[in-house]
Amino acid sequence: MCLSPQVDLVAGAAISIFAVDALRNNSNTRTLPMAILPALFAIHTFMSAVVWFGLNGDISKAIGYLATDAYILIAFVVLPVMVPIATLLIEPPGWRKLSLAVLSFTGLLVGGIFWQNISAGKSSAVACERYVDFHVGGVPFQVSVLYAVVTCGAMLLSGSKPLFYWGMLNVLAIAFLSYRLSHSLPSLWCFWAACTSGFISWFIRSPEVNFPSKRSISQSVEIVSPQ
């Protein structure tokens, strides 16, 4: 949900470039869910454009409704599950991995609760000035808080410095974007999705992902060294 459907289409095209790059350069199954995220953001952004067109009457209402369902499912069901799991799989054994496992389980519960309410027909999309207001009704406030925790807090628990620092930046960016939205200012979510996708594309290429960590190397040496 960005400034207009045209902006969403441009942003979606840019995100798609990062998505292809991340998937082409991914060489490890444990980083695959992270590499898939930009593709998910690209689909999400394109769906936002279709929702815009549906609400403006430029396409059939049936297609607009399908796009709305797809957008809401990705935002409220898929992302709270995918983000913590993608971070969990990259993390080496330790307390951080255990914490991320708990967060991933929480994400499954949060996604399940949103899914129940979406299935009950409690979701909606309303065209506003320079943004679309997507809403899922009947969700307890505590669940909404947990949604923010699992989607924004996963990278903050990572032992990877790039992921941790991006997690901090992500919290600040989302707080800023949410503030703008609460004051009915033009939405810039698609721009942040593009920035996040660019970071993930870079991260997948980074030596930290493509080479074993010092901790992994030391563990391997201990295993092969004579007793």
pLDDT recorded at residue 4: 80
CATH class of 5-224: mainly alpha
Q: What is the pLDDT of residues 136-170, one digit of tens each?
A: 999 999 999 999 999 999 999 999 999 999 999 99
DSSP assignment of 29-53 equals GGGHHHHHHHHHHHHHHHHHHHHHH
pLDDT of 223 > 60? The answer is no
Residue ranges covered by each domain of the chain: 5-224
Of the candidates 105, 139, 144, the residue with the CA atom closest to the CA atom of residue 119: 139
Q: Which two tokens stand for residue 197?
A: 């996708």
pLDDT recorded at residue 1: 63
Q: What gap in Å lies between CA 226 and CA 136, rounded to an integer? A: 59
For the whole model, what pTM was predicted?
Answer: 0.86
